[in-house]
Structure 1
Amino acid sequence: MTAPDTDAPRLTPDLPAYLQDLADFVMASPSSYHAAAEVARRLEAAGYARADERLDFPAEPGGYVLVRDGAVMAWRIPDAGRTSATPVFRILGAHTDSPTFKLKPRPSTAREGWLQAGVEVYGGPLLNSWLDRELCFAGRMVTVDGRDHLVRTGPIARFPQLAVHLDREVNNGLKLDRQQHLHPVWGAVPVGDHGGRNADLSTDILAVLARTAGLDADEVAGFDVVMADTQAPGVFGASGELFASGRLDNLSSVHAGLVALESLSASGADASAGGVVADGVSGESAGAPVIPVLAAFDHEELGSASRSGAAGPVLEDVLRRVLDVMGVSGQGAARSFAGSWLLSADAGHLVHPNYAERHDPVNHPRANGGPLLKINANQRYSTDAAGAAAFARWCGVAGVPFQEFVSNNGVPCGSTIGPISATRLGIRTVDVGIGLLSMHSAREMCGAEDPARLAGAVTAFYNGV
């Protein structure tokens, strides 16, 4: 027997600490509702108190977290006794949802001996990337008493491809009909007893979900349930320099904001603004207490137009209520917004080596080159010259490299929560994020160093520099 080569590379390299934490967060967040709940759980463990928007907000210094459906808002009130200056906000904006498939009403069907589930396309997924993967169902079920119950299955469903023997032209161009072909299989219709194996098998996917959530099916009055890939994130590449995961768009940004808030909580120190130059006037906010905020919205992949989306009122409601409990209103609130910043963090594109012509010919973001500063002349991203200078300063303090992203003029540019939030609030906004390949795939990829670097820049941002 040949002795093992002890110098051979490991086939499954260990994850660095930050990536392991990100991987754990992704696996805990198969739906926007789970992501919001996981942020709240971790912040409460770090000493944050749960706020209820149906009640008056607390005024005492400390951290607070609020969950609205699939969105989560968190903030930290500084010690008001340090200064009489009007506080300013440093807001990390992100989103909890990702492209996927959502269960339709009356979803259970059976055909040719297979149990299937009716789903609707959510957002703009790369459809072919979801084929032949083991998928789970996850989301919330609402019972007749109005209570939410989180639910997630294990690997249960799959979009099976047609064998090449039955479609000899498939490799010349796969075309998927969203109604006919994206109809996942989640079981087989029982045939015989097989020794009692099928005695407890339900042919109703909602009954299976209810049972998984510890509920009776007749208790469930409504549901918001999506599909998610169950494969765990991992590193790959010759030196483990690449990272693959589902839902990096945009759980990578939510996680960066969460980790930065946890870091602030651990340090126990409040920040003050460092006198940012704004519109040619220097030092307007110098010394103002900084209120760090994580605003993780839902429904960005659908355009953000919902009560928990960036086009809705949730962030403005939170900001104004926080100022109100601190005794700031009217002119003071306007001064606070004018001195604040919003860092809109969402994923961007790395240059694809097989489609380099689809990218700008000069600005070529690379894996492990640092987070992206996203720029668009038509304000599909909110970055301007002042924002670019500010982001360079935050990255410099954090010791983090960054790189610019701009689209090829012939390829339409996507957008983010940045322009929406800037329009609603009038707060200076910068669009950033880690670079990805295979964005909107069931499994995206990035440089293994870039997620932690984004968290470092966010931490410097929160610290008021």
Structure 2
Amino acid sequence: MTEALMQNEDFTDGLLDFIARSPTPFHAVQSMAELLEHAGFQRLTETEQWDVSRGRYFVTRNDSSIVAFALNRPLTEHGIHMIGAHTDSPCLKVKPNGAVTANRYLQLGVEVYGGALLNPWFDRDLSLAGRVSYLNEDQQVAHRLIDWQQAIAVIPSLAIHLDREANDQHAINKQLHLPPILMPLPESGSAPDFPALLLEMVNDQLATEHDAGAKAVKVLDYELSFYDVQQPAVIGLNDDFIAAARLDNLLSCYTGLMALLDHDGEHNALLVCNDHEEVGSVSTAGAQGNFLQSVLARLCGDEQGMSRTMASSFMISADNAHAVHPNFVDRHEPGHGPLINAGPVIKVNANQRYATNSETGALFRHWCATVDVPVQSFVVRSDMACGSTIGPITANQLGVRTVDIGVPTFAMHSIRELAGVKDAFYLYTVLRHYFG
């Protein structure tokens, strides 16, 4: 086995493990923070004074967004090479008073988060994870991440016998058809108290951790998402594909993180992974918030320093791209159909739904050529709507040159997506070179 192949396999194994440990944006940021701290990055908080002219640091916001950076040279003279991605994925989120009963079954009401493909959520083994906020014995508000890990719920399909047109037309009512079933109710007695279940889970977790904090006495709020417990896997006749939930966009988060951890060159380097991209990025933790801008302002010192730094900087917005589906070739623009395992994709849109221009696209092509990474192009058909990314938002807020790129993907926004093993490593290779 060649050294390059061994590196690719190690990288893929790490990616699968990262996705498995990151069922929500909270868990993804927790996993990234652990890897950064293990590599010697120092954790900062937004409430403290920073003195970070040189070194390796990271800071989080809302437990669901993260900025990590390595500074080696003066920013105003040399700028900073940045990579942007997002931690969130389309999913089903539990409503605040989610517990409902119907026909003697306990269910949880859910909201659809983002532009999810809903049909694949039926008949899957679902678990539940997220953040719970609670009052502890010291009368303090605290927060914990929880994850049931095992399958605790399912959304059964209606039998074909009761919906003979299901294969021809199947409309899903988000309110009526999506609440997952957790358990049948006993003939006598009331339904389990869902907040009480959360409280018990938090206290069980606290009991197993040294110096974890005072016991929880009341659940105040929560942000919980259902997810498929099927593990990420390498599949295909020749192990060509990565099949997993949340490839959009944990794959980009992981490749950017690995490139930063391997960074030992002279460039200043920064990775930002924002929450809430799938719903428009309008939040304190989203790309339309001021998280990245606030961090850069601290590093640059004043407005003139910020302007000089951004003029010398570059942003790669990494978010998955649509691979040409062989069963739906007509949905793609001729001559611009990305193939899986044929390299990362430069995404272009004349109406600036992507931030790429001829200068930034040319630079990315050059970086790919320098490390022998193939590169592809994507543009949406003129008669179809185009999606967007954090790229145009960041370019607008910072005035920084930006290119939108991503790994070709099938079944984007499904509960289980498909990407190429080679493409993930290709992306890592060029991002590592870009950081220097």
TM-score by length of 1: 0.86
**Deviation at residue 207 of structure 1 after TM alignment:** 2.6
Are the equivalent residues in 2 in contact too, given 1:207–1:217 (CA < 8 A)?
A: no
Letter in 1 for 2:144: H
Match of residue 270, structure 2, among 284, 293, 297: 293
Quote the Cα distance in structure 1 between the aligned partners of 2:43 and 2:191.
38
The corresponding residue for 2:254 is 255
The corresponding residue for 2:298 is 321
The corresponding residue for 1:376 is 349
Quote the Cα distance in structure 1 between the aligned partners of 2:200 and 2:81.
43
**Deviation at residue 213 of structure 1 after TM alignment:** 2.5
The corresponding residue for 1:441 is 414
Letter in 2 for 1:167: D
Letter in 2 for 1:95: H
The corresponding residue for 1:26 is 19
In angstroms, what is the RMSD of aligned CA positions? Answer: 1.8
The corresponding residue for 1:127 is 118
Letter in 2 for 1:77: L
Q: Which moved more, 1:209-218 or 1:136-145?
A: 209-218
| Aligned pairs (5 A) from 1:10-49 | 16-49=9-42
Are the equivalent residues in 1 in contact too, given 2:76–2:300 (CA < 8 A)?
A: no
**Deviation sequence 1:284-311 (CA, Å, 0-9, x none):** xxxxxx3211100000000000000000
Say yes or no: does 1:149 pair with 2:126.
Answer: no
**Deviation at residue 142 of structure 1 after TM alignment:** 1.2
**Deviation sequence 1:145-188 (CA, Å, 0-9, x none):** 23221111121111111111222221111111000001111122
The corresponding residue for 1:285 is none
The corresponding residue for 2:233 is 234
Quote the Cα distance in structure 2 between the aligned partners of 1:186 and 1:57.
47
Are the equivalent residues in 1 in contact too, given 2:265–2:435 (CA < 8 A)?
A: no
Q: Any gaps of 5 or more consecutive residues in structure 1?
A: 1-14, 194-200, 272-289
**Deviation at residue 202 of structure 1 after TM alignment:** 6.8
The corresponding residue for 1:175 is 171
Say yes or no: does 1:389 pair with 2:362.
Answer: yes
Are the equivalent residues in 1 in contact too, given 2:78–2:309 (CA < 8 A)?
A: yes
Are the equivalent residues in 2 in contact too, given 1:140–1:149 (CA < 8 A)?
A: yes
Match of residue 410, structure 1, among 383, 389, 398: 383
| Aligned pairs (5 A) from 1:161-310 | 161-191=157-187, 203-214=192-203, 218-264=217-263, 269-271=264-266, 290-310=267-287
Please state whether the residue corresponding to 1:424 is helix, strand or coil: helix
Say yes or no: does 1:113 pair with 2:104.
Answer: yes
Quote the Cα distance in structure 2 between the aligned partners of 1:372 and 1:211.
46
Please state whether the residue corresponding to 1:411 is helix, strand or coil: coil
Quote the Cα distance in structure 1 between the aligned partners of 2:147 and 2:262.
30
The corresponding residue for 2:69 is 75
Match of residue 92, structure 1, among 66, 74, 83: 83
How much identity, in percent, do the aligned residues show? Answer: 39
| Aligned pairs (5 A) from 1:326-337 | 329-337=302-310
**Between Structure 1 and Structure 2, how many residues are aligned?**
413
**Deviation at residue 337 of structure 1 after TM alignment:** 0.6
Letter in 2 for 1:429: T
Larger Cα-atom Rg: 1
Letter in 2 for 1:124: G
Quote the Cα distance in structure 2 between the aligned partners of 1:143 and 1:322.
35
Letter in 2 for 1:44: E
Please state whether the residue corresponding to 1:53 is helix, strand or coil: coil
The corresponding residue for 1:280 is none
Quote the Cα distance in structure 1 between the aligned partners of 2:192 and 2:216.
13
Quote the Cα distance in structure 1 between the aligned partners of 2:219 and 2:354.
41
**Deviation sequence 1:210-246 (CA, Å, 0-9, x none):** 3223277742211111111111111221111111100
The corresponding residue for 2:404 is 431
Quote the Cα distance in structure 2 between the aligned partners of 1:94 and 1:364.
22
TM-score by length of 2: 0.91
Are the equivalent residues in 2 in contact too, given 1:347–1:433 (CA < 8 A)?
A: yes
The corresponding residue for 2:211 is none
**Deviation sequence 1:358-414 (CA, Å, 0-9, x none):** 100111210100111101111100100001111012212232111011111111110
Letter in 2 for 1:314: F
Please state whether the residue corresponding to 1:337 is helix, strand or coil: helix
Say yes or no: does 1:159 pair with 2:148.
Answer: no
**Deviation at residue 448 of structure 1 after TM alignment:** 1.6
Please state whether the residue corresponding to 1:17 is helix, strand or coil: helix
Are the equivalent residues in 1 in contact too, given 2:18–2:31 (CA < 8 A)?
A: yes
**Deviation at residue 331 of structure 1 after TM alignment:** 2.5
The corresponding residue for 2:208 is none
Are the equivalent residues in 2 in contact too, given 1:370–1:400 (CA < 8 A)?
A: yes
**Deviation sequence 1:16-50 (CA, Å, 0-9, x none):** 22211111110111001111111111100000011
**Deviation sequence 1:391-444 (CA, Å, 0-9, x none):** 012212232111011111111110000001111110001000101110000000
Quote the Cα distance in structure 2 between the aligned partners of 1:36 and 1:210.
23
Quote the Cα distance in structure 2 between the aligned partners of 1:223 and 1:137.
12
**Deviation sequence 1:326-345 (CA, Å, 0-9, x none):** xxx34332111101001000
Letter in 2 for 1:30: P
Say yes or no: does 1:339 pair with 2:312.
Answer: yes
